[in-house]
Structures are given as C-alpha cells and as structure tokens.
Amino acid sequence: MGSEKIRRWESGALAHAATDPFGQGPVPWLRGDVTHADDTGRPVPWYVDRPDPSDTAPHPPRSRSATPRVPFPRAADDVHRQIKGFTATGAVAPGDAIDFHVTVDPPQEFAVDVYRIGHYAGDGAAKITSSPRLSGIVQPSPLTADRTVSCHHWWLSWRLQIPTYWNVGAYVAVLTTADGYRSHVPFTVRDDHPADLLLVLPDVTWQAYNLYPEDGRTGASLYHAWDEEGRLLGEADAATTVSFDRPYAGAGLPLHIGHAYDFVRWAERYGYDLAYAEARDLHSGRIDPTRYRGLVFPGRDEHWSIAMRAAVERARDHGTSLVFLSANTLYWQVELGQSASGVPDRLLTCRKRRGPGKPVLWREVDRPEQQLLGIQYQGPVPEPHPLIVRNADHWLWEATGAHEGDAIDGLVAGEADRYFPRAPLPDHDERILLAHSPYADADGVLRHQETSLYRAPSGAWVFASGTFAWTPSLDRPGHVDPRVQRATANLLDRICKRD
C-alpha cells in the first residue's frame, strides 16, 4: 500500500472529525503527563509520532521477535492491522468473563493493560490489571456481506475474568505488541447494586459511526463506505447493517467517546453515586431503569430502538429523572438483531431512507424526539457559538454567576436542538427554556439553539442541553466552564435529593 492509500484511509477519520469539534487524538481518556512505564519501570511517552519508511510497503518487513523494534509505542492502524481487537460481549458484571479477540501482524507476543476511567487526581484513569504475555496471531480477514463487516470468526485471544471486587465503570483495555504498536478496546463493567444515577453509555451510536476497517476498501458504517477507487462514499452508499463483532476504527476507540469520559471524570471527582450500563442493556431489559433516581445520557446518542425508548419513557413515568447532555438524541429508529452465530444484539440495522419498511426517523412515525426530550434536533453548527443564558433566575443557574443574556463562549457547537412549536410536547407540570442561542448554519441562515427542562407528572425532571459542547465543558482541557459545572451540579443534586 503506497502513501496514496494511507491518505485515503485517513480521509475516513477526517470526514468524521468534521462533525466533532472536540476530537482529542488517540487518547481522549488519558490525562496527566501522558506517559507509561516500560518493562523496566522507566516512564516513556504513550505514543511517539515518528515516520516509519516501512509503512509505505505492501507488506512492511517487521521482525517477528519479541525484542522491541522501536523505542516507544505507536498507534496501530487499520491498513496494516499491527494490533486490533474487540470484545465479544456487551457490558459485563463483576464475576463474569469478557472475551477479547485480537489480530496481531506480524504474529508476536502482546500484552493487555486494563484501565478504569475516573478522576484519579486528574490523571483521568488508573491501571487496574495487566495480562501475562500473550501469543498473537494474524486473524482471518473480516467477512463482508452487502457492506456489513464482521470479525465474529476470529479466534479467542484472551479471557479476562472480572474479579467480584472490581468497581463498576467505563474501562479501556490497551493492547501493545512486543514491537511497539498499540490499540484500544473499550468495555463496561456494570452490576445491579442500587445507585442514585445510572450512566448509559451510547454503544449503539458508537457502533453506527464505526468505519472499521478504515482501509480504503472494506470498511463501512451507517454513514460512510469506500468505492473501488478508495474514495470515501456518503450516507446513500453506506451500510444499512453494522456488526458489533469488529474493532473500532483507528486507535480502537469510538468517535465521540470522550464526551462520556468527560462526564465520568467530573461526576466521580465530586462523588456522585453512579451505576453504569450500555444502551443495549436498556434494549434487552438487562437493567431496570426505574430503580434509579436519574438516568444520564452523556454524549451523542441518536440511534434508539423501540425497546430503548419504551424503557426510558417507562422510567420517566415511574419518577426517574432523565439527563440528556448532548444534541441530536433519539433521532434514528434502529433494530438490534443476533449475529450469524446466534448471539443476540450483535447486529445494528438502520435503513435510513433506503429499502423496504417504515420511515426510520422517530419524527416521521409520529413520535418526535420532543415528546421525550422537550426539544429536538435542529441541525449542525458549523462553528462554535456562545450559549445565551435565558431565565437566569431559575434554580439551574443558581450560584453559577450567569445573568440573563450572558454568553457562554463556545457552548453551542457540533449540533444543536431547539423547541419546535408544531411538534407535540410531553405531558408536564412545568416547563422552561434555559438558553436561546442564535447561530448561522452552513448556508448562512440564522438558526437558534435551546436548552430545555421540564417536570413530568410523575415528578421526574427531564433536562436536554441541546448542544454537543455541554460535557466537554465539565472536564475537557481548554473547554471547562465553571458555570456549566455548577449548573450540572444543581441539576444532579436536585435529582439525587428528590427535591
């Protein structure tokens, strides 16, 4: 593969990055000095960005020895597949096992370091355990069928038995080859113990955007695919079904995952009582959302099944509050199905506007997002704009220092929601809009964003930020805003105290 092929591979990441102004590179979960300890305990950089002449060769000559070929780790990619992996299950409970399927090219030893996301004195994560040296093999090429890519036929590489004493949370497995290439695999540990807040990680939407493999040939998401010349195609030519049985593209972490991690760090720093789950847990009924005082949806979360929405609406009507910290939530109606080997919830289907069946926008089946969120998707925001505070005397803005009409710079970004007067509202005892922020769309047309809060007849609060930039303002370097931190704390404190 020549340099032109590498350029095409990178174009997939660049296409997605244009929709997320908060991209942080390959380690959005790691903070501190961004180093790791080598086998001797010496601190070395987490990655080194150094050109490798062999990367332009069709089959790069690399030693099969376990002796490091380069001094520091570097990010693996989807062209050469130096090391890539995925887990064969969704969220797991302490005491359960999680299976990792990993390909290593050339075959050599590799190791897995497992980190838990959290504040951890500002580091952002803590190492929990490490695997022994494992034997890596080149797994078979991904299987493709009508643009659906699956690696369900890969051999088991490592089984991690989750100790019963592990804390629930968001985890990252870091895969590192003996010759210095590195990739990541995210996973979630959940249990059924009571907690004030349930954090729902949007794994369904993460998979919808997964373009693995970003190789200019095979990979496809619900948004992109490749033509025979290695050019990136758009939504009309993308997949309608994608598989969870494959690595995530690029560094091995989902697009937008940093939004969830921003919330985790901030919430754990201030001691909120969190349980963890994934969107597929809502779909399958593996968790009972009515057991919690609030459900928190921390990032881009636009793909929902009928069962997911029913579970969340039932929780709201039971008195469980809902906190939506992004925009464009609950936009596409999707289906989850079993894999070729019969494992449930391993295939995600969204026909968009192609093929047989009903329309797949929730608003096109007379169930607009606004009936749950209080606002709904308006469109992309080409450049960050300020959020304009509205109703500053409301308790959400209390002690934030925000006044009526104040501008919080950069807080309307990525995509935006607003109130649609012609769309039905949810049943409510009280309702308020807490921001009204003008911005220009890509055509120069004046639009506006809004932030919404309402109280359901059950007593549940339902908050929708209406912007991608809310969670980065909690704990993202360069984006933190104390006013947003305090407003979020005001909301969660009220929910947790049932005030």
CATH code at position 151: 2.60.40.1930
Q: What is the CATH number of the domain that holds 469?
A: 3.40.50
> Looking at the structure, do residues 61 and 163 belong to the same domain, yes or no?
yes
Residue 449 included in any domain: yes
Cα distances from 187 to residues 92, 205, 212, in angstroms, run 8, 15, 17
What domain range includes position 60?
Answer: 3-243
8 Å CB contact between 124 and 477: no
On whether residue 254 sits in a domain, the answer given is no
| Secondary structure class of 7 (helix, strand, coil) | helix
The DSSP H or E segment spanning 339 is: none
189 and 297 co-located in one domain: no
Which residue among 243, 273, 297 closes a domain? 243
Domain presence at residue 197: yes
Q: Are residues 295 and 420 in the same domain?
A: yes
Pairing between β-strand 332-337 and β-strand 125-130 as defined by DSSP bridges: unpaired
CB 403 within 8 A of CB 315: no
**Residue 476 belongs to a domain:** yes
Residue 358 inside a domain? The answer is no
The answer on 310 and 238 residing in a single domain is: no
Last residue of a domain, one of 184, 210, 243: 243
Distance from first CA to last CA of the chain, Å, rounded? 61
pLDDT one-digit tens code per residue, 352-401: 866 566 668 999 999 999 999 999 999 999 999 999 999 999 999 999 99
Same structural domain, 421 and 475: yes
CB neighbours (10 Å) of residue 98?
22
State whether 157 and 100 are in the same domain.
yes
Using the Cα atoms of residue 388, residue 393, residue 394 and residue 397 in order, give the sign of their dihedral: positive
The Cα 9–Cα 16 span in angstroms is 12
Measured distance CA(86)–CA(153) in Å, rounded: 12
Residues 47 and 149 in one domain: yes
In-domain check, residue 145: yes
Question: 220 with 313, same domain?
Answer: no
How many structural domains are present in the chain? 2
Domain boundary among 243, 273, 308: 243
Q: H or E segment at 90?
A: none
Is 277 within the bounds of a domain?
A: no
List helix spans (H) across 222-286: 257-269, 279-284
Q: Tell me the pLDDT of the chain (499 aa) as tens digits.
A: 344 444 454 555 555 554 556 655 556 666 655 666 665 667 766 666 544 444 444 444 444 444 344 447 888 999 999 999 999 988 999 999 999 999 999 999 999 999 999 999 888 899 999 999 999 999 999 999 989 999 999 999 999 999 999 999 999 999 999 999 999 999 999 988 889 999 999 999 999 999 999 988 899 999 999 888 888 888 889 999 999 999 999 889 998 899 999 999 999 999 999 999 999 999 999 999 999 999 999 999 999 999 999 999 999 999 999 999 999 999 999 999 998 888 999 999 998 866 566 668 999 999 999 999 999 999 999 999 999 999 999 999 999 999 999 999 999 999 999 999 999 999 999 999 999 999 999 999 999 999 999 999 999 999 999 999 999 999 988 899 999 999 999 999 999 985 4
Residue 324 CA to residue 374 CA, distance in Å, equals 10
> What is the spatial distance between Cα 97 and Cα 162, in angstroms, rounded to a whole number?
6
On whether both 107 and 232 belong to a single domain, the answer is yes
* Same domain membership, residue 305 and residue 229: no
Residue 23 sits in the same domain as residue 164: yes
Domain identity same for 305 and 231 = no
* Rounded Cα gap, residues 83 and 403, in angstroms: 51
455 is a domain residue: yes
**What does each C-alpha distance from 457 to 159, 426, 430 come to in angstroms?**
47, 10, 9
